[in-house]
Amino acid sequence: MDIEASMRKSLEATQRTFNTIRTGRANPSLLDRIVVEYYGSESALKALATITAPDSQTIQIQPFDRSSMAAIEKAIATSDLGLTTNNDGKVVRINIPPLTEERRKELCKLASRYAEEGKVALRNIRREAIDQIKKQEKDGELSEDLSRDEQDRIQKLTDRSIVELEKLLADKEADILKV
């Protein structure tokens, strides 16, 4: 089990989750979690359309198939993003309103919750790795000293990953709070 790679993947997943939080500026990654009901199946919005941000206050969605526009608009309207769409028959535009101070604080809390989920994932990886090492020690595959050294190494790796996650959270909160 490559613990370092698992922790890296966990950090990357948390970063992707952070990218879905609004910051008051248009960003196509806001729509990454949107799933559209298209011909009876669930499809990711980015699989059905080209998503761009022509300016800092607008997201533009150009569907590959114009008949999917209504389904795209419905999926955005029912999402938890609180965005409204404008449809001109060719593209769907979303105007990103500036965030209120209260909404910025709510989004910071949401980012903190996502960071906490990321920390839990990191701790689970650590626990599984340490359990595996203790099992190897019990089975006689590792000496007690080697086992303790490996456990220390895993703990240091976990601590470094959590510090990195805290930095990602601080960057995201600064981004949210920046007017």
Domain 3-17+100-177: what homologous superfamily? Ribosome-recycling factor (1.10.132.20)
pTM, full prediction: 0.73
pLDDT of 6 > 90? The answer is yes
Unique residue bearing structure tokens 């029912």: 78
| Structural domain boundaries in the chain | 3-17+100-177, 25-95
The CATH number fitting domain 25-95, selected from 3.40.50.300, 3.30.565.10, 3.30.1360.40, 3.30.300.30: 3.30.1360.40
Which percentage of the chain shows pLDDT scores above 90? 46
- Amino acid identity of residue 3, one-letter, is I
> Which pLDDT does position 115 carry in this prediction?
96
12-49 pLDDT, tens digit per residue, is 999 998 888 877 778 888 888 889 988 888 988 888 89
> What distance in Å separates the CA atoms of residue 10 and residue 75, rounded to the nearest whole number?
28
Alpha-carbon distances, residue 126 vs 3, 45, 86, 112, 166 (angstroms)? 8, 35, 47, 21, 17
Q: What are phi and psi of 123, to 5 degrees?
A: -65, -35
